[in-house]
């Protein structure tokens, strides 16, 4: 009881000293929000940090002064148990993003008590939900009207047209809410498996938030990081391919096993290469020999006869392991798994050449590579890569962090020089 009274007195002294208010509601205690004398809107996104591993008997009278070292606090939210102890984590909103970076640098892995280290990282205030399995004939206005009927705080609905029929949507939408709290309440209400739109069960989850890019860092970026290269791809080949849009633009290339760093003289040239990512498809498909088996591809000529082929009709040497991201991205977008249809044709030297056709039933799309392979795993990998590149090119740019950026960043991304 004495300890409880002492803690109450310490909290009262903190509020009297700083002029901040403190209220407890919905399992959390809010200090500030806004602070005394604050005018204007709340701080923008990117001004909040998440604090974890807080000792359960530590409160604002000790935590607030610690986090004030990084900058002015707009709001401090400590999660509370019914017993009166904290739940081990909190959210700290600063008045600007610079204070957020200082807090992470100063206090992440900070020894707050002997043997007790807290964790501090950026908190993303996500206000967007992903809604999957929407009837494809519904327009943006219809989806917004329905979402406003069942949830509060809807400010926008983002819908993308089908790549094959512009009058239809892709079967999913993003719903933007006025606040993270409104989005969280909506997600809690839209229980997957029970919530329906127009008589259809839909999937509901958080949309992947777009990461804010530091403009000062981006002004210095002029290096590309390339992954998943073939071991046979040389630095000279990379230099040639990445200079295709502007000869002489590449300063140097450093290749290490299956990845490389491509240094450009100027940032704009690096960005041009990143945007025009199709030039790298040939690098991904430059297969090299493995275990003495010749791994090569031949042009698919018009009118070539292709016959459905079973895996059982192939030689064991033609089957090897392959990596693919296609199934992952289909699951991520709530699409049906990709269907692979295997075809073959005799080569000019008597070899059996292989090709996979990929069918995405969810988007009513079919993708066929423009090359034939000797090994079945190469053919399947090439078909999946071709599908991914085509999907990346057809999706809307603002979907970059949700889908397109995930494809691109697996292969190539910008690095700070």
Distance CA 187, CA 204 (A): 7
Eight-state DSSP code of residue 45 = T
- Report residue 327: phi and psi, to 5°: -65, -35
Residue 34: asked if its preceding bond is cis (omega within 30°), the reply is yes
The per-residue pLDDT for 95 is 94
Q: Do both 107 and 71 map to the same domain?
A: yes
- Please give the helix or strand (H or E) that residue 75 lies within, else none: strand 73-80
Q: Do both 105 and 143 map to the same domain?
A: no
* Domain count of the fold of the chain: 4
Q: What is the CATH number of the domain that holds 378?
A: 3.30.160.20
Question: Using DSSP, how many helices (H) and how many strands (E) does the chain show?
Answer: 12, 23
Q: Do both 102 and 176 map to the same domain?
A: no
The per-residue pLDDT for 325 is 65
- Report residue 295: phi and psi, to 5°: -115, 100
Q: What is the pLDDT of residues 73-92, one digit of tens each?
A: 999 999 988 888 898 999 99
Residue 416, domain member (yes or no) = no
Alpha-helix residue ranges (DSSP H) falling in 92-224:
97-107, 140-150, 180-189, 215-218
The per-residue pLDDT for 363 is 77
Eight-state DSSP code of residue 293 = B
Q: What is the pLDDT of residues 230-284, one digit of tens each?
A: 667 788 888 887 887 788 888 988 887 667 888 888 877 776 666 555 444 434 3
Write the DSSP assignment of 297-314 as a string of letters: EEE--TT---EE--GGGS
Residue 140, domain member (yes or no) = yes
Question: Could you list the residue range(s) of the whole structural domain that residue 165 is in?
Answer: 128-206
| Cα of 327 vs its chain's centroid, Å | 16
Q: Do both 177 and 263 map to the same domain?
A: no
Can you list the residues of the chain whose pLDDT is less than 70? Answer: 1-4, 125, 163-164, 192-194, 208-221, 227-231, 257-258, 271-301, 309-325, 328-329, 331-333, 348-349, 389-417
Q: Do both 378 and 355 map to the same domain?
A: yes
* Token reading at 61: 């009278």
Q: Do both 99 and 133 map to the same domain?
A: no
């Amino acid at each position: 009881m004495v300890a409880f009274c002492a803690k109450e007195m310490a909290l009262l002294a903190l509020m009297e000293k700083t002029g901040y208010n403190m209220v407890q509601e919905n399992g959390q205690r809010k200090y500030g929000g806004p602070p005394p004398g604050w005018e204007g809107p709340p701080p923008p996104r990117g001004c909040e940090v998440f604090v974890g591993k807080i000792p359960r008997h530590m409160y604002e009278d000790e935590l607030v002064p610690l986090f004030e070292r990084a900058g002015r606090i707009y709001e401090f939210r400590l999660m509370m148990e019914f017993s009166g102890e904290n739940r081990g984590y909190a959210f700290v909103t600063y008045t600007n993003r610079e204070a957020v970076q200082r807090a992470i640098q100063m206090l992440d892995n900070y020894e707050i008590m002997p043997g007790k280290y807290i964790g501090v990282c950026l908190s993303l205030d996500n206000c967007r939900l992903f809604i999957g399995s929407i009837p494809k004939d519904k327009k943006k206005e219809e989806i917004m009207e329905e979402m406003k009927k069942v949830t509060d705080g809807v400010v926008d609905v983002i819908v993308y047209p089908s790549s094959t029929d512009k009058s239809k949507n892709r079967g999913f939408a993003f719903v933007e809410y006025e606040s993270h709290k409104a989005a969280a309440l909506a997600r809690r209400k839209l229980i997957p498996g029970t919530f329906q739109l127009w008589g259809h069960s839909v999937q509901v989850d958080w949309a992947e938030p777009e990461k804010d890019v530091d403009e000062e860092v981006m002004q210095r970026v002029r290096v590309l990081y390339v992954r998943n290269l073939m071991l046979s791809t040389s630095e000279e080949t990379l230099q040639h391919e990445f200079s295709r849009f502007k000869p002489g633009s590449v300063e140097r290339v450093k290749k290490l096993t299956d990845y490389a760093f491509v240094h450009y003289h100027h940032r704009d040239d690096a960005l041009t290469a990143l945007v025009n990512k199709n030039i790298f498809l040939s690098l991904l498909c430059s297969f090299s020999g493995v275990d003495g088996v010749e791994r090569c591809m031949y042009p698919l000529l018009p009118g070539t006869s292709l016959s459905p082929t079973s895996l059982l009709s192939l030689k064991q040497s033609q089957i090897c392991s392959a990596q693919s991201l296609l199934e992952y991205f289909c699951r991520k977008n709530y699409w049906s798994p990709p269907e692979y249809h295997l075809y073959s044709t005799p080569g000019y030297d008597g070899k059996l050449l292989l090709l996979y056709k990929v069918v995405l039933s969810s988007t009513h799309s079919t993708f066929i590579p423009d090359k034939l392979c000797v090994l079945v795993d190469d053919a399947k990998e090439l078909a999946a890569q071709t599908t991914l590149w085509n999907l990346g090119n057809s999706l809307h740019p603002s979907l970059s962090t949700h889908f397109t950026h995930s494809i691109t960043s697996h292969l190539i991304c910008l690095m700070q020089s």
